[in-house]
């Protein structure tokens, strides 16, 4: 029988999952066979259009635990359908952390868009020498480098190049970022991977209410017929790595134009400069005028009272 603590945790997890249901909007060109949300599993404890394995565990109210908070675990979740060949956006919510906040932790999870699927291996629980895209959310420094953790690292695999284990993937990466914290957060973190064939790839994380870019590259081409995957691994140190939501959709022509159109830097600086200079100056002016007005009023009241006494 489920105890009260487990029930309480399940209710909290369910509330976080339910918060994403409205985002399954058919008007946003959602690809339902490449998306995943509550209740995650069907009556036969399967996930339609997806496979999972290794140490991955599916919980109807919480999502897919790629690993639980135990050492030496690895798990994966893979689509059985291909991503579109031209362009796509994948939003996925994940949570990495531990109930024991006073110990060391590791290791991280990976997003995959590769020509092969469901092959366990040493790269965040999936195979090395992959063909396609790997985005690594690395929480523990295993390699020899001085970059702060956690990291977001992008690698484009050609089937022949190894992941750089000596430097946590940095030597084999096309881009990386250490600007945002995504471990041990209060709620799930939302990631957005955007791809426009031959033209653009970007990785963003949502901070507060807006997406913040980790990195983006232009003139970027991936192979066709890619499967969507997520995997995670723990070593001697551990964390839970949980996926609570996946939404994949096409990109409209209008969106593609916006993505590929650079923002004029001079316009942004001009607007920022105007706002940053005008409002502080205006506020200071209001304060000075208020002080002067109050002083004049006090002076007049004092003189009026003085004359009455004479």
Segment among 31-45, 54-68, 266-280 with least mean pLDDT: 266-280
- Model confidence pLDDT, tens digit, residues 205-241: 997 788 999 999 999 999 999 999 999 999 888 999 9
| Spatial strand order in the sheet of 63-67 | 57-59, 63-67, 240-249, 87-97, 189-196, 200-207, 210-218
Find the Cα–Cα–Cα–Cα dihedral 204, 209, 281, 274, rounded to 10°: 40
Structure tokens belonging to residue 210: 């807006």
Q: Is 146 part of any domain? A: yes
Phi-psi region of 294 (alpha: psi -120 to 50; beta: other; left: phi over 0): alpha
The total domain count for the chain is: 1
Q: Is 60 part of any domain? A: yes
Domain residues for the domain of 102 are 23-260
CATH number, domain with residue 194:
2.60.120.200
Q: Is 197 part of any domain? A: yes
Q: Is 293 part of any domain? A: no
Q: Is 66 part of any domain? A: yes
The residues with which 232 forms a beta bridge, in sequence order, are: 75, 109
Mean pLDDT of all residues in 78-98: 95
Structure tokens belonging to residue 140: 């523990």
Q: Is 267 part of any domain? A: no
CB neighbour class for 124 (10 Å; exposed up to 12, middle 13-18, buried from 19) = buried
pTM for the full model?
A: 0.75
Q: Residue 252's pLDDT is what?
A: 85
Instruction: Check whether 97 has a pLDDT greater than 70.
Output: yes
Instruction: Check whether 71 has a pLDDT greater than 70.
Output: yes
């Amino acid at each position: 029988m489920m105890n009260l603590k487990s029930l309480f945790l399940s209710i909290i997890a369910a509330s976080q999952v339910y918060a994403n249901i409205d985002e399954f909007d058919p008007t946003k060109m959602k690809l339902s066979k490449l998306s995943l949300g509550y209740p995650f599993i069907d009556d036969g404890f399967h996930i339609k259009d997806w496979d999972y394995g290794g140490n991955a565990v599916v919980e109807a109210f919480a999502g897919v635990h790629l690993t639980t908070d135990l050492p030496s675990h690895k798990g994966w979740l893979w689509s059985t359908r291909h991503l579109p060949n031209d362009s796509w956006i994948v939003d996925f919510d994940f949570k990495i952390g531990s109930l024991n906040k006073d110990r060391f932790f590791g290791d991280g999870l990976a997003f995959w868009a590769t020509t092969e699927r469901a092959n366990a291996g040493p790269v965040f629980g999936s195979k090395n020498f992959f063909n396609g895209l790997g985005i690594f959310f690395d929480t523990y420094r295993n390699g020899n480098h001085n970059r702060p953790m956690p990291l977001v690292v992008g690698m484009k695999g050609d089937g022949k190049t190894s992941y750089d284990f000596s430097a946590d993937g940095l030597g084999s990466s096309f881009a990386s970022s250490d600007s945002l914290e995504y471990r041990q957060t209060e709620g799930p973190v939302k990631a957005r991977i955007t791809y426009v064939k031959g033209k653009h790839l970007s990785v963003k994380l949502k901070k507060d209410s807006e997406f913040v870019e980790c990195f983006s590259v232009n003139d970027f081409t991936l192979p066709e017929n890619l499967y969507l995957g997520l995997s995670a691994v723990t070593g001697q140190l551990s964390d839970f790595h949980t996926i609570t939501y996946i939404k994949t959709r096409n990109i409209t022509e209008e969106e593609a134009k916006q993505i590929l159109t650079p923002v004029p830097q001079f316009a942004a600086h001009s607007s920022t400069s105007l706002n940053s200079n005008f409002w502080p100056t205006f506020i200071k002016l209001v304060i000075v005028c208020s002080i002067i007005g109050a002083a004049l009023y006090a002076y007049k009241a004092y003189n009026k009272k003085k004359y009455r006494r004479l």
